[in-house]
Amino acid sequence: MRAFFTAIAPVVPVALALFTWAAATSAQAQSLLHMVESATGYDAAWRAASAAQQASQHRSAQARAPLLPQVGVGAELARGYTRLHPPGVSHAGAQAQWALQASQTLYRPAQKITFAQSQLAARQAVHQLDAAAQELIVRIAQAYFNALAAQDALRFVQAQKAAVQEQLAAAERNFEVGNATITDTREAQARFDLIRAQEIAAANDWQVKKLALEQATGLHQARPWPLREPVQLPTLEPREAQAWVEQALAHQPHIQQARLGLEMAQLETEKARAGHQPTVDLKASVTGSHTPDGSAIAPHLRRSQQAQVGVALNLPLFAGFAVQSRVQESLALQEQARAQLDGARRHSEQAVREAFYGLQSGLSQVQALQAAEASSLSALEANQLGYQVGVRINIDVLNAQSQLFQTRRELAQARYQVLMGHLRLAQASGLLDWQALRRINALLAEPDSHQP
């Protein structure tokens, strides 16, 4: 099993002690890897799953305890009064008693099955922790790339604003020398005012997305690393959806939990049937008493000891049809667990195919937008040249600028969606682990200090 929990175990002993350096480096730029690591000590869902996994280990030890020797010791100190009729003899005195008892289970099938179920439950908790870790990666990555997309949108709006401002200045110069009408100036001014409004909205969106990232990771002043230039997105391998489905059937944590749930239900049926079987225990005890004043019957007997060793057999004969009822109940619960396993398999297969085709479409969209960016840039250059020689008007240049920057925004967004598509496909297949996260993180680069 590609468990995220086991992958990070060499890095930190416990999730709650992760990354004490986070507060000291919060003002620096952080990679996706660092933010996920920081979130493991902050995210409530991850911490709850980690605590549940630890608790399951203790429950397994508790279920094993009845199969081990049981030893106990007891003591009692009392004072009593005895009167015999006849002959009318009375006696008063103190008495001290002690006992040492031990037992060992020899044959208790129900307890052995309970222990086996607890071991399966512990394995279930590991898969639950694995699922929580994968969900944490996807959740932090989504907030991370949302922040990057908002940051890129602000940067593109600012670049478009600078280009429109330059076009406005050119229109004003041409109007002053009589080479253009006031219409060109007013069109450029209107576009500039619109871009200023878009810049305000983009700046606000960047702050909101940045705050959401900080809330998800527990960091302050989050500054995510951008994509490394030139951008090289990972390809889709393997290229067949069925290959990913087969991986999901073997590794998906939710399927593993459902499969273990079915095994536990089958064991529950065996345990219910064990209600008709006998139980055998080995028992031993040593008891003693001390009466300093003797007793009314034996005044000279002050100390006594007794030791016993034996085997206890208990065979249930009739329990009011309770055993038969429990067997029928467990069989019904077994069918329920089997149906849940089938549902988990179908849901995982659907999720894998949706993620696969979504990623496939995203990669094609990136290629199309890259071609559109090159075409938009050529169109802008042609319109600028045409404006200079008088065959294009100012609004043509402004529209070409708008198309170029809109294409660049969509291309940046599509790239982030592709990266998220890789993570979601890996999650749906149960393969999202530390190494998969590192591969995505390797596509990022630390930003310059002047970037927002």
3-state SS string over 366-425? HHHHHHHHHHHHHHHHHHHHHHHHCCCCHHHHHHHHHHHHHHHHHHHHHHHHHHHHHHHH
Residue 230: other Cβ atoms inside 10 A: 5
Which helix (DSSP H) or strand (DSSP E) does residue 289 occupy?
Answer: strand 279-290
Q: Cα separation of 444 and 437, whole Å?
A: 11
> How much of the chain, in percent, has pLDDT values that exceed 90?
75
Q: Cα separation of 420 and 145, whole Å?
A: 8
Mean pLDDT across the chain: 88
The pLDDT of residue 303 is 80
pLDDT digits (tens, 9 = 90+) for 190-246: 999 999 999 999 999 999 999 999 999 999 888 999 999 999 999 999 999 999 999
Kindly report the CA angle at 59 between 57 and 65, in degrees rounded to 5? Answer: 110
What are the phi and psi torsion angles at 280 (to 5°)?
A: -130, 130
Is pLDDT above 50 for 378? Answer: yes
Is pLDDT above 80 for 16? Answer: no
The pLDDT of residue 87 is 62
Q: Cα separation of 196 and 155, whole Å?
A: 13
Is pLDDT above 70 for 3? Answer: no
The pLDDT of residue 88 is 61
321-336: average pLDDT = 95
The pLDDT of residue 325 is 95
Q: Say what the pTM is.
A: 0.84
Is there a cis peptide before residue 238, judged by omega within 30 degrees of 0? yes
pLDDT digits (tens, 9 = 90+) for 303-315: 878 999 999 999 9
Residue 95: other Cβ atoms inside 10 A: 16
Q: Are 12 and 18 in contact (CB under 8 A)?
A: yes
Domain 4-68+108-277+322-441 has CATH 1.20.1600.10: yes
Strands of 303-314's sheet in order across: 70-84, 89-107, 279-290, 303-314
The pLDDT of residue 222 is 87
Domain spans of the chain?
Answer: 4-68+108-277+322-441, 70-107+279-314
The pLDDT of residue 176 is 86
Class level of CATH domain 70-107+279-314: mainly beta
The pLDDT of residue 2 is 44
Q: Determine the residue type at 307.
A: A
Of the pLDDT bands very low, low, confident and very high (cuts 50, 70, 90), residue 26 is: very low
Q: Collapsing DSSP states into helix, strand and coil, what is residue 304?
A: strand
Is pLDDT above 60 for 20? Answer: no
Of the pLDDT bands very low, low, confident and very high (cuts 50, 70, 90), residue 92 is: low
Query: Which residue, 163, 227, 187, is CA-closest to 447?
Result: 227
Query: Which residue, 93, 96, 98, is CA-closest to 298?
Result: 93
The 8-class DSSP code of residue 450 comes to T
- Whose tokens are 């009845």? That residue is 66
